[in-house]
Structure 1
Amino acid sequence: MNYIIGIVGLVVFLLLAWVMSSDKKSVRWQYIGIMLAIQFLLAFLLLKTSGGIKLVEALATGFGYLLGYAEQGVNFVFGGLENPAVGKVPAASTFFMDVLLPITFISALIGILQYLKILPFIIKYLGWLISKVNGMGKLESFNAVAAAILGQSEVFISIKKQLPFIPKHRLYTLTASAMSTVSLSIVGAYFTMIEPKYVVTAIILNLFGGFIIASIINPYVVSAEEENAVIMGTNTDEKKQSFFEMLGEYILDGFKVAVIVAAMLIGYIALIAMLNGIVDAFTPGDVNFQTILGYVFAPLAFLTGIAWDDAVRAGSIMATKLVSNEFVAMLDVQSIVKGNTGELSERAIGIVSVFLVSFANFSSIGIIAGAIKSLNDEQGDVVARFGLKLLYGATLVSFISATIAGFFL
């Protein structure tokens, strides 16, 4: 029965993407079929073997060293400003210090790769390899992998030189990839909250799921001429920079991204908190905004293969991720597992866990739009205009990944 519901669920989620398609007749279903088959194969290997977990752990460890170097620079300048933790309340400046400011260092490394002409080479050939599977452009293919390594704000620094030349339809796909995945910098934190095999499975499935949904919602074909123009998209009249001119530019770009993303997060999260407060004020007893969304999400949770008895609770956790972030939702899962409360079956916990591993939430609209706006004001406004459509697609990616994982749980 679970398999039948899962198949129906996949069809429904693909149809929900197709309903929002900008060109329904141009969807290339053959590529989508290939990528779905790859997802099923990868889900089997990742959930039934341990090799994938070891690989991601090694990559996360390597990225952890880079963040350690970044921390030294942050502590030298801002170390005395961090407010100490009080009881269960974490340090007030932890997110800005530990997550946003290291972008400055990562940006410097990206600039060095760009200056040495290594980054365009990687974009061209890694993108070419993956584009053979997904039928999309080389830049889109590279960007999805880069987003999974660097993160949803840092990845746009890696294509800073190409950003002004990217048309709206391709920009949607690039930002969708960034929202659909997560970065290696926080994989270690996820491992402490939910089972690592679910984290790894979600990372890999979301990579292809992002291509699937973007190919349906936003189908297009990239010509060789356009591809070369964008990938090599540096102005021919651009002044040749010295190494230290380039380094200073990228360091400042990284800092601008950190500050603008912080501002966007403050505004978005505060508005969401206000919405929660307004709804809570007019709802009786234990009913709150998350509970209401839980009932809305329950049918969708059921379509991922979760039993109906678990669907409302699972839907509530999924909704929590959407309106706040994945960390808050993972805490709910963690409390269920550690408390052994029986609120959710083991299978439901696995499916929900896979769903949670992505940046698909309202605040990510602000993060991505802010990151791009700091690099190119006009393109940032373009992203902000299709923000809700971006979140819609990224959420469908999470549903598809969770549904496919459910076949092997």
Structure 2
Amino acid sequence: MNYLIGAIGIVVFLLLAWAVSSDKKNVRWPYIGIMLVIQFLLAFLLLKTPGGVWLVDKLATGFGFLLAYAAEGVNFVFPNMVNLNEKGEAMNNFFTQVLLPITFISALIGILQYLRILPFIIKYLGLAISKINGMGKLESYNAVASAILGQSEVFISLKKQLPYIPKHRLYTLTASAMSTVSLSIVGAYFQMIKPEYVVTAIVLNLFGGFIIASIINPYRVSDEEENEVIMNEEGEKQSFFEMLGEYILDGFKVAIIVGAMLIGYIALIAMLNGIVDAVTPGKFNFQTLLGYVFAPLAFLTGIAWDDAVRAGSIMATKLVSNEFVAMLDVQNMVKNGKGELSERSIGIVSVFLVSFANFSSIGIIAGAIKSLNDKQGDVVARFGLKLLYGATLVSFISAAIAGFFL
């Protein structure tokens, strides 16, 4: 029954995208069908085959080693920032063990960029994907680059092309950026939810972004327009240590910004929970109300109705705040063994959470582009809500597909 509901859910999510399409008659459904098949295949390989399980395990192990090295630097600077429980045992400290290691991962990304390893991967993987999705090379490059560099940093690599990108293509580029996550924070996700859910979501969202953008914003790129796209990632040449310092500081800024947002959002949600609880003592809180709103959508991903309200609450929390706030909810649920959600529901919700699709991302992306090109930044701000709508549908489709194999 859950599989039937999941299949119906995918159709509903596609229709929700079609309902706001700018050109309903010219949606290229054959390409969308091909990408859906690829998504199902990739989800099966990652979640059900020995090779997929082995790959995820090795990725998690590799990030584990990197985080252990990151801990050396963190513990040197913050040696006393360790929480102890009643038995005197060290407890997880979110700031030092989850956020600050982003600084080290960011430095590694900078080194791979400097050595031209990442640009090579991004360029040719994007070229291969462009043969599948029926879109231009620029869109495919951007989707892969977003999954590695991040939703704001990726546009720096496109700053020379940015002034000449038309509105319809700019929507696809920004939708890809909002639907993915940056490699620098994947290690943080691995510590909060199961690695197999993180890896599966990243891969599914890559193609899901193309699917939803192709429906909401269908267009064809002419050969003439394609030939005008010149991928030039070269900027002003930096020395190795200039680059390294820049990436280290950028990583630290990300850690601090995420920490600041968590403080603000968690406090606001706690306040709203308190207000609603005061009005309806012992019956509801703000997150429960959001859960009822999102419950039908959670149900359409294949989650059992008994879990739908709680799952919908976590999904809504992510939308109105960010994925870290929602992942903390899941993490606490698993650690405390509350049994509020089944293992399958936790998996589906976890896949949904792995993206930058939330209200704050509208400002982040629009601001990043505006800093590079004022006019194009205004264009993105104008279609910001439509951008969030599409990216959220990407997350729902990825979650529904993952549900078939959980």
TM-score, L = length of structure 2: 0.80
The answer to whether the 8 A contact 2:273-2:287 is kept is no
CA distance in 2, matches of 1:90, 1:359: 23
Matched, 1:281 2:268: no
Match of 2:142 in 1: 143
In the alignment, the residues of structure 2 paired with residue 10 and residue 173 of structure 1 have an alpha-carbon distance, to the nearest angstrom, of 20
Q: 1:112 to 1:171 in 2, by over 3 A?
A: farther
Which residue of 2 is the match for residue 23 of structure 1? 23
Structure 1: distance between partners of 2:160 and 2:21: 29
Amino acid at match of 2:47: L
Q: Cα offset for 1:372?
A: 2.0
Q: Which residue of 2 aligns with 1:195?
A: 194
AA of the residue aligned to 2:281: G
- Looking at structure 1, the residues matched to 366 and 69 of structure 2 have their Cα atoms a distance apart, in angstroms, of 27
Change (3 A) 1:222 1:69: farther
CA distance 1:248–1:20, change in 2 (3 Å): farther
Residue 203 of structure 1 and its aligned partner are, at CA, apart by 1.2
Q: CA, structure 1 residues 204+355, in 2 after alignment: closer, same or farther (shift >3 Å)?
A: same
TM-score (norm. length: structure 1):
0.80
Distance between the aligned counterparts of 2:375 and 2:247, measured in 1? Answer: 16
Q: After the TM superposition, which residues 197-276 of structure 1 pair with which residues of structure 2 at under 5 Å, given as runs? A: 197-232=196-231, 243-244=237-238
For residue 2 of structure 2, what is the aligned residue in structure 1?
Answer: 2
Tell me by how many angstroms 1:341 deviates: 2.2
Per-residue deviation, residues 228-260 of structure 1 (Å, max 9, x unmatched): 2233479xxx9x96x359997998899799979
Structure 1 unaligned segments of length 5 or more: list them: none
- Relative to structure 2, which stretch is displaced further, 8-17 or 345-354? 345-354
Aligned to 1:377: 374
Distance in 1 between residues matched to 2:240 and 2:166, nearest whole Å: 25
1:31 CA drift (Å): 0.4
Root-mean-square deviation (CA, aligned residues, Å) is 3.9
- Mapping 1:59-70, distance limit 5 Å: none
1:279–1:352 CA distance, 2 compared to 1 (3 A): closer
- One-letter code aligned to 1:281: I
Q: Does the CA-based 8 Å contact 1:85-1:92 persist in structure 2?
A: no
User: What SS does structure 2 have at the residue aligned with 1:193?
Assistant: coil
Structure 1 ranges of 4+ moved more than 6 A: 59-72, 79-83, 85-89, 91-97, 100-105, 245-269
Report if aligned partners of 1:26, 1:219 keep a CA contact under 8 Å in 2.
yes
- Residues 85-121 of structure 1, C-alpha deviations (whole Å, 9 max, x = no match): 778896879999665898698568757759xxx94x7
1:315 paired to 2:312: yes
Other-structure match for 1:51: 51
Cα separation, partners in 2 of 1:57 and 1:386, compared to 1, 3 Å: farther
282-291 or 147-156: bigger deviation: 282-291
Deviation at 1:374, TM superposition (A): 2.5
Q: Post-superposition shift, 1:25?
A: 1.1
SS of 2:229 mapped into structure 1: helix
Match in the other structure for 2:34: 34
Give distance in 2, aligned partners of 1:231 and 1:67: 37
Comparing 398-407 with 46-55, which one deviates more in the overlay? 46-55
Q: Distance in 2 between matches of 1:268 and 1:93?
A: 14
8 Å CA contact 1:268, 1:366 repeated in 2: no
Q: Does 1:354 align with 2:351?
A: yes
The letter for the 2-side match of 1:325 is N
Superposed displacement of residue 368, structure 1: 1.7
**Which secondary structure state, in structure 1, belongs to the residue aligned with residue 218 of structure 2?**
coil
Contact 1:253 1:374 (C-alpha < 8 Å) held by counterparts: no
Structure 2 unaligned blocks of 5 or more: 85-90
**1:268/1:331 CA distance change after superposition, 3 Å:** closer
In structure 2, distance between residues paired with 1:343 and 1:268: 23
In the alignment, the residues of structure 2 paired with residue 247 and residue 139 of structure 1 have an alpha-carbon distance, to the nearest angstrom, of: 30
1:306 shift after superposition: 0.8
* Cα gap change, 1:188 to 1:233, in 2 (>3 Å): closer
**Distance in 2 between residues matched to 1:91 and 1:406, nearest whole Å:** 29
